[in-house]
Amino acid sequence: TEELLRKSDKLKVVGQLAAAVAHEIRNPLTALKGFVKLLQTQNANAKLPYLGIIQEELSRIEFISSELLVLAKPQVSRVADVDVREVLEQTIMLLATQAVMNNIEIRLGAGEEQAYISGDGNQLKQVFVNLLKNAIEASGPGCTIEVTIRLNEGELGIRFADQGCGMPEEMVKRLGEPFYTTKEKGTGLGYMVMRRIIEAHHGRLSISSRQGVGTSVEVILPVRMPDPSTQRVPAN
């Protein structure tokens, strides 16, 4: 019966998720239908602003779908040695413009030059992009975001510390609930997707936050296991 219970629990979660997804996608779809109808009655010039809105709503549906697709992939898809520092550098580069535009400094700490895990580099990058984006979105102008890597007892800790608005305890507990967001343009899928990816990498998240002070999120992952089959035998 325990197994049955677990199955019905799972079905319940799937049902809730399906309802939430349907709701999130129905809103932009309803708006789209209305605007398309409006377009039929407008002359060419008056159509332009509606086309802009339509494009935005379509992008939102596309974005929500692409975030959800990550959940459909249960396992790490391509396992390889991942240079964590390199992935972090790429992530910071990707978000540099957004940071500069908001007058936010991103600092990558020195140390742990040899930071490798085994996993899927693209999925890991998605986690880092999500965390860095959240940090930027929570920070005001003049704030700094510190990114650090540390090695501790066979685990790699990648920490994103911001000086942003912070979160109350109840909010930290809700991170990972589908579509839980406080942002007008947020999807509230970031943490759900991140948790899924980190779980697949046998890692965990450690979050501490204080309202008005800032937030620190650490991704903790097991370091790469030395693989005997790839160890080089010195020639002669």
Binding site for Mg ion (CB under 5 A): 134, 190
Query: Within 10 Å of residue 54's Cβ, how many Cβ atoms?
Result: 19
- Residue 173 has φ and ψ, to the nearest 5°, of -65, -30
As measured in angstroms, the least distance from the Cβ of 142 to ligand ADP is: 16
Residue 203 interacts with which of ligand ADP, Mg ion, none, CB < 5 to 8 Å by class: none
> Would you say how long the chain is, in residues?
236
Closer residue to ligand ADP, CB minimum distance, 137 or 155: 137
By CB under 6 A, is residue 191 in contact with ligand ADP? yes
Q: What are phi and psi of 80, to 5 degrees?
A: -155, 170
Part in contact with ligand ADP (CB under 6 A); list of ranges 57-65, 71-79, 178-186, 223-231: 178-186
Among 182, 199, 206, 213, binds ligand ADP (CB under 6 A): 182
| Alpha carbons 39 and 47: distance in angstroms, whole number | 6
Q: Are strands 214-222 and 155-162 parallel, antiparallel or unpaired?
A: antiparallel
Per rule CB under 6 A, is residue 20 in the interface with ligand ADP? no
Question: Sign of dihedral through CA atoms 28, 17, 207, 97?
Answer: negative
6: partner contacted, choices Mg ion, ligand ADP, none (Cβ within 5-8 A by kind): none
CB 194 → Mg ion: shortest distance, Å? 9
Q: Which candidate, 186, 162, 158, 184, places its Cα nearest to that of 99? A: 162
Q: Does 186 bind ligand ADP (CB under 6 A)?
A: yes
Q: Is 167 in the site for ligand ADP (CB under 6 A)?
A: yes
* Burial class of residue 142, CB neighbours in 10 A (0-12, 13-18, 19+): exposed
Give the binding site for ligand ADP (CB under 6 A). 130, 134-135, 138, 162, 164-167, 175, 180-183, 186-188, 190-191, 215
